[in-house]
Amino acid sequence: MSLAAVSTRTIAQKCSHATADDLRELERALHSGLTGTSQIVDEYEAALAALYGVRHVIAVSSGAASVTAALAGVDFHPGDEVIVAPTGPICTVLPILSLGLVPVFCDVAPDSFGLDPVDLRRCISARTCAVIEVPMWGYPIRSDATWAYLRDAGIPLIQDLAHAHMTRLNDTWLAHHGEISCFSTHDCKFISTGEGGFVMTDDDERAARIRAYTRFGNLTGETLGINLKLGGLQAALGLARSRQLGANLQHRQRNRERLLGLLDNPAFREMPVVVGGEVNAYSLLLQAVGHDGRELVHYQQRHGIESDIGKYDNQPLYQLPLLTRYQRDCPNAARLLRSLTTVPLHPDLVDDDLHYIAKVLNDYSPA
Ligand SMILES: *Cc1c(COP(=O)(O)O)cnc(C)c1O
């Protein structure tokens, strides 16, 4: 079979999340309440809290809303600084700017999306109000080490886990290795409510502040807030689909094992998984060996295999016009992004798809 003959095929990044339960829960919501304070939203939050073993889950209208709400849970003055890696999406940084805060770009550790501990020390100032870790494509990072250091420094750790639902570190959810965790349930993420997100924390006081912020400050006129609530229909979908998260995780992890077992091209390898970490198989991260990974990105795209990282052109965030004024030298971040491509692993992929992906990738030879 020649590749030219099959290159019209598309392996999409996105999958269907439909479950047999969807209609039942949507119908229940239609009859019981559609607002962000209805019973079905409570049930959705309770299901996520039980799954993750955390005290508080606050459902919100998007992943961006979850980052905004998480920041509302920490103390800051306008102009204070939030430390973040330049390897995440702009979606994490725009909420920082929208609150009048200043992003400080910190380099990542080599071959990781986690912050480099040496550069983190350099980035901290008297104006640092929070640090946001953003583990991309579901690969765990050493949040435990970042958190231990920040706890001593009295700085809260927020994790943007939009890509890292169900990712584990040291036999527990990555979400447990920080004060506040943010998630997106946008249609292209691990679990979909179309648009949506949630925040989780074990801290009662922060949870109360975050929830109040998403509800106009509880309308008391004492504290600032806007409306970031998740609607009842989205919560109904989330509730139905939260029941599939475990099976979804296993299916993705199985696809990763299968695909890795089929790949035998020394031109790339999987990005290393940190010791004690377990990927959620949101995507497979492949790292080009001895050449520019963007070549691999373009090659797979020509063969119809979508690469999520291709959307960002493998560039650090401070290359974007809005963010150039915050540029800091982050050589590990730039090198890491240039070395990578992402490959879909979602549950819609059938055996034939995995074989197609493997054949395309095994036939790759860098220029
Ligand atoms: C998708 C994403 C967001 C934004 O989520 P939305 O639901 O689209 O608002 C934020 N951070 C990260 C890391 C993301 O991947």
Tens-digit pLDDT profile for residues 74-98: 999 999 999 999 999 999 999 999 9
Atom of ligand 1 nearest to the CA of 197: 7
**Considering the chain, what percentage of its residues have pLDDT values greater than 90?**
95
Q: Band the pLDDT of 313: cuts 50, 70, 90.
A: confident
Pocket residue to mutate for ligand 1, from 134, 184, 195, most atoms within 8 A of Cβ: 184
Indicate if the pLDDT at residue 31 is higher than 70: yes
Indicate the range of 17-21, 137-141, 335-339 predicted with least confidence. 17-21
pLDDT value at position 255?
98
Neighbouring residues of 94: CB distance < 8 A, sequence distance ≥ 6: 64
pLDDT value at position 164?
98
Rounded mean pLDDT of 42-53?
A: 98
Q: Band the pLDDT of 7: cuts 50, 70, 90.
A: low
Ligand 1 near 193 CB (within 6 A): no
Rounded to whole angstroms, the Cα distance separating 19 from 243 reads: 9
Indicate if the pLDDT at residue 1 is higher than 50: no
Indicate the range of 184-198, 302-316, 350-364 predicted with least confidence. 302-316
- Among protein residues, the one whose CA lies closest to atom 14 of ligand 1: 162
Measure 162 CA to ligand 1 centroid, in angstroms: 6
Measure 362 CA to ligand 1 centroid, in angstroms: 32
Indicate if the pLDDT at residue 5 is higher than 60: no
Q: Band the pLDDT of 329: cuts 50, 70, 90.
A: very high
Ligand 1 near 280 CB (within 6 A): no
Q: Could you report the per-residue pLDDT of 161-175, keeping only the tens digit for each?
A: 999 999 999 999 999
Residue 81, phi-psi category: left (phi > 0), alpha (psi -120 to 50), beta (remainder): beta
Instruction: Tell me if 165 sits within 8 A of 115, measured CB to CB.
Output: no
Where are the extended beta strands (E) located within the chain? 56-60, 81-84, 102-105, 128-133, 157-160, 168-169, 172-173, 180-184, 197-201, 268-270, 277-278, 283-288, 340-344
Ligand 1 near 163 CB (within 6 A): yes
Measure 184 CA to ligand 1 centroid, in angstroms: 5
CA-based nearest residue to 305, from 88, 8, 1? 8
Indicate if the pLDDT at residue 208 is higher than 90: yes
Ligand 1 near 159 CB (within 6 A): no
Rounded mean pLDDT of 100-129?
A: 98
Q: Is the pTM of this model over 0.85?
A: yes
Ligand 1 near 95 CB (within 6 A): no
Instruction: Tell me if 92 sits within 8 A of 207, measured CB to CB.
Output: no
Indicate if the pLDDT at residue 153 is higher than 80: yes
CA-based nearest residue to 259, from 349, 358, 343? 358
Indicate if the pLDDT at residue 2 is higher than 60: no
**What is the rounded end-to-end Cα distance, in angstroms, of the chain?**
23
Rounded to whole angstroms, the Cα distance separating 4 from 2 reads: 5
Indicate if the pLDDT at residue 314 is higher than 90: no
Rounded mean pLDDT of 282-286?
A: 98
Ligand 1 near 186 CB (within 6 A): yes
Rounded mean pLDDT of 306-310?
A: 95
